Amino acid sequence: MTKIVEKGTMRVFKSLVLLFLVPVVRGSMVQLKNGGYEDIVIAINPELPEDHNIIRNIKDMVKEASTYLFNATKQRFFFKAVKIIIPQHWLPKSEYLSVKTESYDKADVIVANPYLKYGDDPYTLQYGGCGEKGRYIHFTPDFLLNDTLYNIYGSRGTKVFVHEWAHLRWGVFDEYNNDAPFYVSVNSGKASVEATRCSADITGKYIVQSCTGNNCMTRECDYDQQTKLYEAGCKFVPEKTQNAPASIMYMQSLPSVVEFCDQSTHNEKATNLQNKMCNYHSTWEVIMNSTDFSNTSPINSASPPFETSFSLLQTKDRAVCLVLDVSGSMAGYNRIKHLYQAAEIFLLQIIEMGSWVGIVTFESTAQITSNLRQIVSENVRQDLIKYLPKSAGGGTNICAGVRKGFEVIKQKYSNLDGSEIVLLTDGEDSGMSICLKEVEDSGSIIHTIALGPSAAPELEQFSDMTGGLKFYATDTVDSNGLQDAFSGISSGSGNISEQSIQLESTAQSVAVKQWMNGTVTVDSTVGKDTFFVVTWDRSTSPPDILLRDPKGKEYRTSNFTVSDLNLRTARLNIAGTAEVGDWLYWIQNNHTVSQVISMIVTSRPASLAVPPVTVKAHMNKDTNNFPNPMVIYAEVSQGFLPVLGATVMATVEPQTGSAVELRLLDDGSGADITKNDGIYSKYFTTFKGNGRYNLKVHIQGRNQTVRLGRRQSRALYVPGYIENGEIKINAPRPEVSDDEIQAKLGSFNRVATGGSFVVKNVPSGGIIDVFPPCKITDLEAQFEEDKIHLSWTAPGNDLDEGQADRYIIKMSESLLDLRNTFEDATSVNTSSLIPKPAGTKESFQFKPENVTIENGTIIYFAIRAIDNASLTSEVSNVVQAALFVPPKESLPDTLPTEVITKSVPTQESLPDTIPTEVITNSVPKQGSFLLRFLLMLSMTVSMFQY
């Protein structure tokens, strides 16, 4: 028996280790050397007014955190060196250095205002699996400046920063859960309702508060008649003074908390995301499995060996040089013409006003075709496109091109720090390696665009070394690859109000006299500087275009501009702000043969006051070894709020073979770890061979369905403390009403490129089935009469695609037995259960046999799916069914009540009434069940509701 347990544990950890081997390198450039984290980038949003207290408090926070982190990780890690990015409009100081390859978009920590006064909860944007790095930590300026928030989150440095850093760096999750705050536990045969927490040793009381104006009453919580858990609004209020040292991922603000929960203090029964995501392992076990941990050893010292050092970097004007390949191969496949069309879009529509741009072309040698010019007017843009190349010939010398690009940047700046090179090539160049070091040390960011199947395989190294973007475009005309690549190169400064946003990019082959019709929605968050661009690939005269705005105003071919330099693009710039609503277009191919016609629409934010809806798309890694699956993510947001209910379609285009279309979902099943967080996800497994792939997403939001949501992975908003027997409740968290949120968002269209990735080791010839069904992560249980009702989302044959063959369901009185030795647990007869297609809701009812059900009985369930190749999914989340009769004596009128006033903070923005927080344990109707048994669900958390 013991042996089997060990084997099970090994298996679980093997899969954890596999995750850790996956490099998620996008963005962060943090390095770990001898336990010290270096090159951490903290960026101040360019919208924020100059305030040096922000810088001072960031420094204090990180210095303090360094010591706390050092102790919490048992003398292993500390913060050694931090770079702070200062907005361009803050007054220059001699101590400020130039930004090099760092940028706001790639920062580990950002300081920015919340949108819609949403509140000051620090959080980490985290949507990978257990052990995967997060995207960034967001602090509001209020959080950094307002000391009264200490009571709520604990001190910034010693507590909050380390909590968020653990999310970001080691991919651990919260150990509290606002959506499933309670669960049933049985100790020595006695059942009780417990707060979701780690460790379970943290003591406190269950308190509900109601307020009229500033007068608030508190009393102990009653049980909810239906759920048999504590009533809605009930909070676990901890004792301020206590002995429990863990955990930082639960309530970091408690003075006694100095550790992460480890194997001995971990509470695997708590209904939290850490348990669900990390297979009921403790946060410290996950940290111990990280490469950070295996690459370091404990430091023999009582405090960090170095105090944190800081460098201040200031952003400057954007300077970009296009470095374009005009070698002989660029003459094939119409590449040079496509390059012209795409680069023209960049110069006329994408590059931000005030930026500096130069143009270099290269073949065996490199030439400057345009010196660095500042975009101060439409005339400069029109002037620049004259210098785009129109003919091709000669060899390929990439290093010569890049060096010439550096020369152009130096026309304005004494060094290359923070400048950008857009390097496009279709060719191989064995000499690329000679300038690798030069590029790495340059301080310039290199964005690369690989065109066609023969582009140098080393090209991406330039991007990787310098933090640049990576794009790949095929020669397939109807994929708009090159236009999308150039459209994706907007500034990384965080200055979103200046940026170009792509609303549409679509193309199709249109037969003679046939039509290409469509609709593009212009929403209220964009509309300035709007361009409708029609391109075609054969005729030298435009097709017949009719475009109708939402008010019925019509634009025809004659309203579009066709430049003498480029006879295959017609462009319409809408004066002022484009009408909000649906723009309809009809385009007829009037050429003598069929040709590919495309429609590309770009715009800019309508006003400084309202952030636009934006999309960021990417894969979970840049390089993949078959047969590992990949995950596609699209993050749809407005300001910092997630946009829910959008239709998100991803197109993955391989180097050879046809593109694959996938719908990404935000439903909390399969690859999507959290429902309704605005992160839409899907596994990608249909590999069509080795080489480069490119990712593009189309997003459509429709009035009726789309709305804003709230962020996850926040530091716990502490409800209050019990100090010397006295209950001190904090002011409730400021909430935004759903009405306010929903009123702001109408229909919209977006297109975003997710850049390129490389796949290796795909066998040639037919591929046998290597992908099992994905792990089921949303198993729920309901008690109906004397039966158990289980429900979950169906996985597929290959992860979340297709259809599984059968299910295995097991039950046990031990949660960890199901995790460790699933096969040995009692089987549930599933012979009547036939899996539905992936993504469908499954429902299964059965009567548990040989189980005596009495008060305090807890049964756990878990499920696995098997495909027709006998490949088995991982064990699902473990769900708890508990029978619990609440004690009779807990009637509210027998309890002392007391009147207190809010202790913190007296903000005018706070609502007068406390928010109604609904416990959403989705517990079934109890029906006529006489004993009022409670069915308590362990992991039926709706992670997004309140």
Q: Which stretch binds Ca ion (CB under 5 A): 4-12, 299-307, 791-799, 889-897?
A: 791-799
Q: How far is the CB of 801 from Ca ion (least distance, A)?
A: 9
Helices (H) and strands (E) in the chain, counts: 17, 49
Q: Rg of the Cα trace of the chain?
A: 29
What count of Cα atoms within 13 Å lies in the side-chain half-sphere of residue 829?
6
Q: Which stretch binds Ca ion (CB under 5 A): 88-96, 202-210, 564-572, 664-672?
A: 664-672
By beta-carbon proximity to Ca ion, the closer residue of 797 and 926 is: 797
Q: How far is the CB of 782 from Ca ion (least distance, A)?
A: 24
SS3 for 893? helix
Q: How far is the CB of 637 from Ca ion (least distance, A)?
A: 12
Taking residue 20's Cβ as centre, other Cβ atoms within 10 Å add up to 19
By beta-carbon proximity to Ca ion, the closer residue of 244 and 745 is: 745
Q: How far is the CB of 669 from Ca ion (least distance, A)?
A: 10
Q: How far is the CB of 664 from Ca ion (least distance, A)?
A: 9
* Sign of CA pseudo-dihedral 500, 504, 506, 510: negative
Q: How far is the CB of 866 from Ca ion (least distance, A)?
A: 9
Task: Say how far apart CA 539 and CA 537 lie, in whole Å.
Answer: 6
Q: Which stretch binds Ca ion (CB under 5 A): 525-533, 642-650, 667-675, 808-816?
A: 667-675
Instruction: Say if CB 289 and CB 13 are below 8 A apart.
Output: yes
Could you write out the DSSP letters of every residue in 193-234?
A: EEES-SSTT--EEEEEEEEETTEEEEEEPPBPTTTSSBPTT-
Task: Say how far apart CA 261 and CA 199 lie, in whole Å.
Answer: 7
Q: How far is the CB of 154 from Ca ion (least distance, A)?
A: 28
Tell me how far CA of residue 303 lies from CA of 82, 292, 538, in angstroms.
18, 19, 70
Q: Which stretch binds Ca ion (CB under 5 A): 4-12, 301-309, 504-512, 793-801?
A: 793-801
E strand residue ranges, 873-931 = 879-882, 898-901
Q: Side by side, which strands form the sheet with 366-374?
A: 366-374, 356-362, 319-325, 420-425, 445-451, 470-473
Binding Ca ion (rule: CB under 5 A), the pick from 288, 392, 643, 679 is 679
Q: Which stretch binds Ca ion (CB under 5 A): 3-11, 99-107, 663-671, 703-711?
A: 663-671
By beta-carbon proximity to Ca ion, the closer residue of 526 and 865 is: 865
Q: Which stretch binds Ca ion (CB under 5 A): 277-285, 403-411, 547-555, 660-668?
A: 660-668
ω into 46 cis (within 30 of 0):
no
SS3 for 741? helix
Q: How far is the CB of 253 from Ca ion (least distance, A)?
A: 28
Binding Ca ion (rule: CB under 5 A), the pick from 292, 363, 672, 780 is 672
Task: Say how far apart CA 646 and CA 643 lie, in whole Å.
Answer: 7
By beta-carbon proximity to Ca ion, the closer residue of 674 and 756 is: 674
By beta-carbon proximity to Ca ion, the closer residue of 782 and 797 is: 797
Binding Ca ion (rule: CB under 5 A), the pick from 158, 275, 505, 797 is 797
| Contacts for 845 with CB less than 8 Å, ≥ 6 apart | 784, 787, 788, 789, 790
What count of Cα atoms within 13 Å lies in the side-chain half-sphere of residue 73?
33
Q: How far is the CB of 701 from Ca ion (least distance, A)?
A: 16
Catalytic residue among 102, 164, 239, 653: 164
| Contacts for 300 with CB less than 8 Å, ≥ 6 apart | 75
Residue 854 bears catalytic tag:
no
By beta-carbon proximity to Ca ion, the closer residue of 160 and 679 is: 679
Q: Which stretch binds Ca ion (CB under 5 A): 162-170, 371-379, 672-680, 731-739?
A: 672-680
By beta-carbon proximity to Ca ion, the closer residue of 547 and 665 is: 665
Q: Which stretch binds Ca ion (CB under 5 A): 240-248, 498-506, 659-667, 713-721?
A: 659-667
Instruction: Say if CB 229 and CB 922 are below 8 A apart.
Output: no
Instruction: Say if CB 230 and CB 207 are below 8 A apart.
Output: no
**DSSP H or E segment with residue 682:** strand 679-684
Instruction: Say if CB 366 and CB 403 are below 8 A apart.
Output: yes
Q: How far is the CB of 803 from Ca ion (least distance, A)?
A: 10
Tell me how far CA of residue 564 lies from CA of 385, 530, 585, in angstroms.
11, 22, 24
What would the x/- binding string for Ca ion be over residues 798 to 817, using CB under 5 A? Answer: x-------------------
Q: What are phi and psi of 747, to 5 degrees?
A: -70, 150
Q: How far is the CB of 775 from Ca ion (least distance, A)?
A: 14
By beta-carbon proximity to Ca ion, the closer residue of 381 and 618 is: 618
What would the x/- binding string for Ca ion be over residues 293 to 332, using CB under 5 A? Answer: ----------------------------------------
By beta-carbon proximity to Ca ion, the closer residue of 500 and 674 is: 674
**DSSP H or E segment with residue 399:** helix 398-409
Interacting positions 821-880 with Ca ion (CB under 5 A): 867
- The residue count of the chain comes to 946
Q: How far is the CB of 823 from Ca ion (least distance, A)?
A: 20
Interacting positions 759-788 with Ca ion (CB under 5 A): 769, 771
By beta-carbon proximity to Ca ion, the closer residue of 509 and 628 is: 628
**DSSP H or E segment with residue 366:** strand 366-374
Give, rounded to a whole angstrom, the gap between the first and last alpha carbons of the chain: 42
Tokens 């009571």 sit at which residue? 151
Instruction: Say if CB 452 and CB 428 are below 8 A apart.
Output: no
Could you write out the DSSP letters of every residue in 451-475?
A: ESTTS-TTHHHHHHHHT--EEEE-S
The per-residue b/e assignment along 864-894, b for 16 or more CB within 10 angstroms, e otherwise, is: bbbbeeebebbbbbbbbbbbbebeeeeeeee
Binding Ca ion (rule: CB under 5 A), the pick from 45, 674, 685, 713 is 674
- The DSSP letter of residue 143 is H
* Residue of 830, 883, 888, 894 lying closest to 853 (CA atoms): 883
By beta-carbon proximity to Ca ion, the closer residue of 639 and 670 is: 670
Q: How far is the CB of 699 from Ca ion (least distance, A)?
A: 14
Q: What are phi and psi of 163, to 5 degrees?
A: -55, -50
Q: Is 104 in the site for Ca ion (CB under 5 A)?
A: no
Interacting positions 253-272 with Ca ion (CB under 5 A): none
Binding Ca ion (rule: CB under 5 A), the pick from 677, 780, 800, 917 is 677
Number of residues that bind Ca ion (CB under 5 A): 10
* Helix residue ranges per DSSP H, 352-397: 378-385
By beta-carbon proximity to Ca ion, the closer residue of 797 and 821 is: 797
CA of residue 645 relative to chain centroid, distance: 16
Strands 726-729 and 720-723, bridge-based pairing: antiparallel
Binding Ca ion (rule: CB under 5 A), the pick from 426, 666, 780, 917 is 666
By beta-carbon proximity to Ca ion, the closer residue of 199 and 676 is: 676
Q: Catalytic amino acids?
A: 164
Residues that bind Ca ion (CB under 5 A): 666, 672, 674, 677, 679, 769, 771, 797-798, 867
